[in-house]
Amino acid sequence: MTTHRIDSVRLGLVRLPLKTAISDAKVFTGRQKPLTEVAVLVAEIATSDGYQGLGFSYSKRAGGPGLYAHAREVAPELIGEDPNDIARLWTKLVWAGASVGRSGLATQAIAATDIALWDLKAKRAGLPLAKLLGAHRDAVRCYNTSGGFLSTPLDELLDNAEESLSRGIGGIKIKVGQPDAKADLRRLAAVRERLGDEVTLMVDANQQWDRATAQRIGRTLEQFNLEWIEEPLDAYDAQGHAALAASLDTPIATGEMLTSVAEHWTLIQAGAADFVQPDAPRVGGITPFLRVAALADHAGLRMAPHFAMEIHLHLAAAYPHQPWVEHFEWLEPLWNERLELRDGHMLVPHRPGLGLTLSEFAAAHRTDEVEITS
């Protein structure tokens, strides 16, 4: 049997500007500045048999140049390797940069190449990635987040929600966590009144409450029949999240900020989430994401992966328990393709791999690029 090898790895850093500056609770509490762009690390891996895989990672606010620099240092380890050995190659890259850790920026930098290898493997099989992994469904329930930021005036937020539902999106998430909790409650009440009791609603506090505040506000939020309360506490407060999950009727969702399997295992063992929200680019790629998914499945948890719908649609489709996928259109300018929405669901594309090709916009907004060969 002929073994094909990795001939080249092309890395690029793309600066993706947002149409308007975005603020969530972290901005309202003074911990961050408004978000104006997303930095996207793109990896393209070419093999000796003529196939090419595409993957990406990302950073909001700081970190994009760091992702690119670390990926550039360790990517030469892939040259000449068998692209099928994805798990071994993930471990090889992690250990190549282990002096800066096996989580955080180090794993987010190698996520782009790991995702590219999975895209490549699915393309060689002639299958969408979800089918390669073993899909449980061909469409996944989806909810919109991008229309509900705290920086969005209430009238515009309500219009965004109705527009999302009319496009075929199945749920609406709005941001909370303002210093004045009454302002959050007024916005949420207005959304529920406009959309009615049948529409699925979620809220996201972006880690800005302490335990006492989260408990008190969580009890008040029970009246709105929410699908979940997201990140009510610091992302690493597994015990605090577990206490909320045990005491509230409304489910707790968290996990998006974690950057390793070990961190997710701590969360799951503590019973800290009803919905686990891993992010493949943040946790280090599809290889570790699948490990998190296996742990979550074993615990009987529901899943709602964070951001990067272009990747997470496939991963959610392969999760045994009925998941959600998050609709964020921010990355759409990077691709020539669009995901299809219908009846509250996002449809898994029939195209091989992730089903994505880079657009001219992506090429025009690259600030750094390198091609690594033998």
User: Residue 307 sits in a domain of what CATH number?
Assistant: 3.20.20.120
**Which residues are annotated as catalytic?**
175, 306
Verify that 249 and 321 share a domain, yes or no.
yes
Verify that 111 and 138 share a domain, yes or no.
no
Verify that 88 and 186 share a domain, yes or no.
no
* Residue 1 is assigned to a structural domain of this protein: no
Verify that 279 and 236 share a domain, yes or no.
yes
Query: Tell me, what's the pLDDT at 318?
Result: 98
pLDDT band at 2; cut points 50, 70, 90: low
* CATH number, residue 26: 3.30.390.10
Residues spanned by the domain of 215: 130-347
pLDDT band at 55; cut points 50, 70, 90: very high
Verify that 169 and 293 share a domain, yes or no.
yes
Verify that 61 and 148 share a domain, yes or no.
no
Calpha distance 17→37 (Å, rounded): 4
Q: Which tens digits make up the pLDDT trace of 125-143?
A: 999 999 999 999 999 999 9
In Å, how far are 159, 187, 194, 208 from 175, measured between CA atoms? 15, 9, 17, 11
Verify that 45 and 72 share a domain, yes or no.
yes
Contact 346, 139 (CB under 8 A): yes
Question: Does 28 score more than 90 pLDDT?
Answer: no
Helices within 203-351 (DSSP H only): 211-221, 238-247, 261-269, 280-283, 286-298, 309-317
In Å, how far are 24, 79, 214, 333 from 27, measured between CA atoms? 6, 42, 18, 25
The amino acid that residue 282 corresponds to is R
Query: Tell me, what's the pLDDT at 360?
Result: 96
Query: Tell me, what's the pLDDT at 101?
Result: 84
Show the tokens assigned to 340.
Answer: 């299809």
In Å, how far are 44, 55, 107, 165 from 115, measured between CA atoms? 10, 5, 12, 30
Please count the helices (runs of H) and the strands (runs of E) in the chain: 14, 14
* Residue 165 is assigned to a structural domain of this protein: yes
Verify that 80 and 134 share a domain, yes or no.
no
Q: Which tens digits make up the pLDDT trace of 275-313?
A: 999 999 999 999 999 999 999 999 999 999 999 999 999
Residue 139 DSSP label: E
* Residue 136 is assigned to a structural domain of this protein: yes
Verify that 52 and 194 share a domain, yes or no.
no
Q: Which tens digits make up the pLDDT trace of 352-374?
A: 999 999 999 999 999 999 999 98
* Residue 302 is assigned to a structural domain of this protein: yes
Query: Tell me, what's the pLDDT at 128?
Result: 98
Q: Is the dihedral of CA 365, 43, 147, 221 positive or negative?
A: negative
Count the domains in the chain.
2
Q: Which tens digits make up the pLDDT trace of 209-234?
A: 999 999 999 999 999 999 999 999 99
Question: Does 36 score more than 70 pLDDT?
Answer: yes
Q: Which tens digits make up the pLDDT trace of 305-357?
A: 999 999 999 999 999 999 999 999 999 999 999 999 999 999 999 999 999 99
Kindly calculate the radius of gyration of the chain based on its CA atoms and give it in whole angstroms.
Answer: 20
Calpha distance 301→265 (Å, rounded): 12
Verify that 308 and 250 share a domain, yes or no.
yes
pLDDT band at 6; cut points 50, 70, 90: very high
Looking at every residue in the chain, the average pLDDT score rounds to 95
Q: Which tens digits make up the pLDDT trace of 239-288?
A: 999 999 999 999 999 999 999 999 999 999 999 999 999 999 999 999 99
* Residue 354 is assigned to a structural domain of this protein: no
| DSSP codes of every residue in 49-83 | TS-EEEEEEEEESTTHHHHHHHHHHHGGGGTTS-T
- Coil, strand or helix: which one is 112? helix
In Å, how far are 76, 103, 120, 142, 331 from 109, measured between CA atoms? 13, 10, 18, 27, 18
* Residue 204 is assigned to a structural domain of this protein: yes
Query: Tell me, what's the pLDDT at 24?
Result: 87
Verify that 63 and 118 share a domain, yes or no.
yes
Verify that 189 and 86 share a domain, yes or no.
no
* Residue 186 is assigned to a structural domain of this protein: yes
Residue 192 φ then ψ, to 5°: -65, -40
pLDDT band at 1; cut points 50, 70, 90: low
